[in-house]
């Protein structure tokens, strides 16, 4: 892309936006301070590095068999850095417990300690990447259908111990990076078929969470994530949205909104202003559900745009942590990171460029034609020229210029795996 063309197009865009009361320089600054938390699990189809690793379980599934998945920690780190080099801005990395640096040792989930994440902490420092974290209740012989809600005390205690240890790890990460580490708790617990002990399971989950969160931590924050159902656990989900929304509101925890986790007619963005009146902050898992929680690569679809617009309209940009959560094994995985991250960023950019003050004023005056007109016209405003300028300023490829970069990486790195 000709840098001069980008500069010229940006100059025109800047004027067009100024005419509707938007300062694009201010928006570019806001976008620079907008950090995604890139999920580590797109690089290897949610396998992780446990020596004793089993098949992916817990009601989630990665489909596709595209060659070149990362097979070990070095390959995964390399892939993440490649993706980051093609995404403007600075972004965090969201790790799962099963991506520890286990050095060939069998470390069971109830034995994990911060030392297995020391090399990640150093890698994060070296690469200007802050870390977030997740406990891992799936893909383990003790996962079954119930983990933290298991009536068997032995199994329940095992997962309580695991999750407590994960909080210690997150705390160590937060301390080392001098910025809180967000730790998400999602467990798959549920029932495949008709079941009658729902109150029992939910009170056990509540009790387990109370035990896990009993100790205050200084350098980490807890978020909790519900869903509608998992594969093989279709009939009942212990950690439903009602359960976690109530738990988060009562215990002042961060609620996770995974855009793949709702009924198809529900609009995830609509939850922002509802729950932010009761919970301190939100964690996002931006995903793209195709007919189910399929975790396709994030694109600029209506739900993603609406979610980011609702956050900006609510004035809540800094009460939200912006995680991504998809795992597509059917295409170049580094490319998948780049597309999803850039698309999420573009949705945030468009949200910031919306003439919301004018729209809000019209709406409060009951002038609905004007609101709708501005909403529609905003779609055709030259926001793409602003994103291109953002890429130039961040020294990353403009437009589709990242395609040949990924093709080269595929030919010289991932295809050789
Ligand atoms: C599963 C949840 C959960 C996982 C990751 C791997 O439905 O979305 O967040 O995708 O933790
Ligand atoms: Zn999720």
SS3 annotation, the chain: CCHHHHHHHHHHHHHHHHHCCCCHHHHHHHHHCCCEEEEHHHCCCCCCCCCCCCCCCCCCCCCCCCCCCCCCHHHHHHHHHHHHHCCCCCCEEEEEHHHCCCCCCCCCCCCCCHHHHHHHHHHHHHCCCCEEEECCCCCCCCCCCCCCCCCCHHHHHHHHHHHHHHHHHHHHHHHHHCCCEEEEECCCCEECCCCCCHHHHHHHHHHHHHHHCCCCCCCEEEEEECCCCECCECCEECCCHHHHHHHHHHHCCEEEEECCCCCCCCCHHHHHHHHCCCCCCEEEEECECCCCCCCECCCCCHHHHHHHHHHHHCCCHHHEEEEECCCCCCCCHHHHHHHHHHHHHHHHHHHHHCCHHHHHHHHHCCCHHHHHHHHHHHHCCCHHHHHHHHHHHCCCCCHHHHHHHHHHHHHHCHHHC
Q: Is 35 a catalytic residue?
A: no
Say yes or no to pLDDT of 386 above 90. yes
* Ligand 2 midpoint to CA 285 (Å): 5
Q: Which residues surround ligand 2, an ion (CB under 5 A)?
A: 258, 285, 325
Which whole number is the average pLDDT over 76-105? 98
Asked whether the predicted pLDDT for residue 380 surpasses 90, the reply is yes
- Arithmetic mean of pLDDT, 163-168: 99
Q: pLDDT, tens digit, for every residue of 221-240?
A: 999 999 999 999 999 999 99
What pLDDT sits at residue 3?
85
pLDDT digits (tens, 9 = 90+) for 99-148: 999 999 999 999 999 999 999 999 999 999 999 999 999 999 999 999 99
The per-residue pLDDT for 119 is 98
Contact 387 CB / ligand 1 (< 6 Å): no
For residue range 258-291, list pLDDT tens digits in order.
999 999 999 999 999 999 999 999 999 999 999 9
List 41, 120, 123, 186, catalytic entry = 186
Residue 158 has pLDDT above 80, yes or no: yes
1 has a pLDDT exceeding 90: no
pLDDT digits (tens, 9 = 90+) for 310-360: 999 999 999 999 999 999 999 999 999 999 999 999 999 999 999 999 999
Q: How far is the CA of 97 from the centre of ligand 1 (A)?
A: 13
Express each pLDDT in 7-23 by its tens digit. Answer: 999 999 999 999 999 99
CB-ligand 1 contact for 38 (6 Å cutoff): no
Report pLDDT for 2.
Answer: 82
Q: What proportion of the chain, given as a percentage, has pLDDT over 90?
A: 99
**What is the pLDDT confidence band of residue 186, given thresholds at 50, 70 and 90?**
very high
What is the mean pLDDT of the segment spanning 292-301? 97
């Amino acid at each position: 892309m000709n840098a001069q063309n980008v500069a010229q197009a940006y100059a025109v865009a800047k004027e067009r936006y100024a005419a509707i009361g938007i300062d694009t320089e201010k928006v570019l600054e806001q976008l620079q301070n907008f950090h995604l938390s890139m999920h580590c699990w797109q690089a290897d189809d949610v396998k992780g590095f446990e020596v004793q690793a089993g098949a992916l379980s817990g009601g989630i599934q990665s489909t596709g068999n595209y060659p070149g998945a990362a097979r070990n920690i070095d390959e995964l780190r390399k892939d993440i850095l490649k993706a980051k080099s093609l995404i403007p801005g600075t972004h965090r990395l969201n790790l799962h417990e099963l991506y520890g640096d286990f050095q060939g040792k069998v470390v069971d989930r109830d034995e994990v300690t911060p030392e297995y994440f020391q090399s990640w902490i150093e890698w994060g420092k070296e690469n200007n990447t802050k870390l977030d974290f997740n406990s891992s209740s799936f893909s383990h012989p003790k996962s079954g259908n119930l983990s933290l809600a298991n009536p068997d005390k032995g199994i329940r205690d095992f997962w309580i111990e695991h999750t407590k240890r994960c909080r210690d790890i997150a705390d160590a990460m937060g301390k080392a990076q001098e910025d809180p580490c967000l730790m998400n708790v999602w467990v798959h617990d549920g029932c495949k078929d008709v079941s009658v002990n729902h109150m029992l399971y939910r009170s056990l989950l509540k009790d387990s969470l109370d035990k896990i969160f009993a100790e205050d931590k200084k350098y980490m924050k807890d978020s909790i994530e519900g869903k509608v159902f998992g594969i093989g656990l279709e009939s009942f989900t212990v950690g439903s949205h009602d359960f976690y929304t109530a738990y988060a509101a009562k215990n002042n925890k961060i609620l996770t909104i995974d855009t793949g986790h709702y009924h198809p007619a529900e609009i995830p963005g609509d939850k922002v202003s509802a729950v932010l009146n009761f919970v301190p902050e939100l964690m996002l898992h931006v995903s793209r559900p195709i007919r189910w929680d399929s975790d396709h690569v994030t694109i600029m679809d209506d739900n993603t745009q609406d979610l980011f617009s609702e956050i900006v309209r609510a004035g809540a940009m800094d009460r939200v942590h912006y995680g991504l959560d998809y795992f597509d094994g059917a295409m170049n995985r580094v490319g998948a990171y780049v597309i999803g991250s850039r698309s999420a960023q573009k949705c945030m950019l468009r949200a910031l460029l919306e003439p919301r003050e004018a729209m809000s004023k019209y709406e409060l005056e009951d002038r609905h034609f004007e609101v709708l007109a501005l909403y529609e016209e905003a779609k055709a405003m030259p926001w793409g020229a602003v994103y291109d300028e953002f890429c130039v300023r961040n020294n990353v490829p403009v437009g589709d210029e990242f395609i040949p970069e990924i093709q080269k990486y595929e030919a010289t790195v991932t295809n050789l795996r």
